[in-house]
């Protein structure tokens, strides 16, 4: 099973063989939400929830 390294706690994170770039996974050790940013090798990055909220605000009409 492919693995990546959690950038928050450096734990090994197991991902499925059918994982794609942009998929979200959670670190079992620290619970951080991670995004798959590379596949060969598996690279993970922390999902910044503040960025997602900013993107949602752009869709609102004032």
| Maximum alpha-carbon separation in the chain | 48
Position 60 confidence tier, pLDDT thresholds 50, 70, 90:
low
Domain that holds residue 14: 3-57
Give me the CATH number covering residue 35: 2.20.28.160
Residue range 2-35, pLDDT digits in tens: 999 999 999 999 999 999 999 999 999 999 999 9
At 49 the pLDDT is: 72
Q: Six-digit token pair at 9?
A: 């706690």
Query: Is the residue at 62 inside a domain?
Result: no
CB contact at 8 A, 21 and 36? yes
SS3 letters for the chain? CCEEECCCCCCEEECCCCCCCCCEEECCCCCCEEEEEEECCEEEEECCHHHHHHHHHCCCCC
At 30 the pLDDT is: 97
Q: What's the domain count of the chain? A: 1
Query: Is the residue at 40 inside a domain?
Result: yes
What is the pTM assigned to this prediction?
0.76
């Amino acid at each position: 099973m492919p693995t990546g390294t959690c950038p928050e706690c450096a734990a090994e994170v197991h991902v499925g063989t059918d994982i794609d770039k942009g998929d979200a996974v959670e670190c079992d050790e620290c619970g951080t939400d991670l995004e798959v940013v590379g596949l060969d090798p598996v690279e993970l990055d922390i999902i910044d929830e503040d960025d997602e909220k900013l993107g949602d605000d752009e869709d609102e009409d004032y």
